[in-house]
């Protein structure tokens, strides 16, 4: 039995869902709360000079990345807007966090640049494909999720490892233990996404030519 709120969906029955048909859902609200934590992260890091607090907030936000997706699936509140909003917020937070920690000087420059370059290449290719080339979206692979998990553990660990708290040495080691395999795996999955992107482009072109593109 579906638990979706029919008041959130004003479409005519049978009409394809548009991007803005169901914006105000619980998972989208949860994603919005995570986005609003971004200024708090920057304040803790630069305004309050609280590296440990900023790192723990970042770790908490990274560890709750799955919650909005779970809510959407469990309560049938998935939406076209959410499919775009959630990964956009994730990437925005990741980019801002890594760049902020570069400015703070708590992460090796080469590692941070390697992470950002991969995200720009893969994320940029997917964004261009979906927005301008009618590419059909595809889900993140299991290995891609593992890479993200490792990197989201490594980045705040670098930050905590640069503080003078008692657990700093442990997190300094943990940062590399998560960071190296996470970086390697992220590039491996980036290469593995190439055939998925090509298939998505081909499917998008086919649906457009037959007039069945329902994005």
Q: Is 3 helix (H, G, I), strand (E, B) or coil?
A: coil
CA 10-15-16 angle, to 5 degrees, is 100
Please tell me which residue, 149 or 10, carries the higher pLDDT value: 149
| pLDDT at residue 135, rounded to an integer | 84
| pLDDT at residue 8, rounded to an integer | 47
| pLDDT per residue as tens digits for the range 62-87 | 888 777 777 877 878 777 777 777 87
Token look-up 């261009």 returns 128
Q: Which helix (H) or strand (E) is 207 found in, with range? A: helix 168-209
Q: Are 29 and 85 in contact (CB under 8 A)?
A: no
Domains of the chain, each with CATH number or no CATH: 22-207 (1.20.120)
Q: In the structure encoding, which two tokens stand for residue 21, read together?
A: 């048909």
CA distance 98 to 167: 21
| pLDDT at residue 210, rounded to an integer | 65
Q: Is 106 helix (H, G, I), strand (E, B) or coil?
A: coil
Mean pLDDT across the chain, nearest whole number? Answer: 83
* Lowest-confidence region among 15-24, 113-122, 136-145: 15-24
CA distance 203 to 130: 11
CA distance 44 to 60: 14
CA distance 27 to 138: 19
């Amino acid at each position: 039995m579906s638990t979706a709120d029919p008041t959130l969906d004003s479409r005519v029955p049978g009409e394809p869902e548009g991007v803005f048909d169901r914006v105000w859902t619980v998972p989208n609200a949860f994603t919005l709360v995570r986005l609003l934590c971004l200024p708090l992260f920057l304040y803790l890091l630069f305004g309050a000079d609280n590296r440990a607090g900023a790192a723990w907030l970042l770790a908490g936000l990274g560890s709750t990345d799955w919650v909005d997706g779970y809510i959407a699936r469990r309560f049938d509140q998935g939406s076209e807007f959410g499919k775009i909003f959630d990964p956009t917020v994730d990437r925005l937070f990741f980019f801002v966090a890594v760049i902020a920690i570069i400015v703070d000087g708590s992460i090796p420059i080469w590692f941070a640049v390697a992470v950002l370059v991969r995200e720009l290449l893969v994320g940029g290719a997917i964004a261009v494909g979906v927005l301008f080339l009618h590419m059909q979206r595809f889900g993140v692979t299991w290995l891609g999720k593992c890479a993200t998990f490792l990197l989201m553990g490594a980045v705040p660990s670098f930050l905590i490892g640069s503080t003078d708290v008692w657990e700093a040495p442990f997190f300094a080691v943990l940062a590399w233990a998560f960071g190296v395999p996470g970086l390697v795996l992220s590039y491996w999955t980036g290469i593995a996404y190439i055939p998925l992107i090509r298939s998505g482009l081909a499917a998008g072109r086919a649906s457009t030519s037959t007039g069945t593109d329902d994005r």
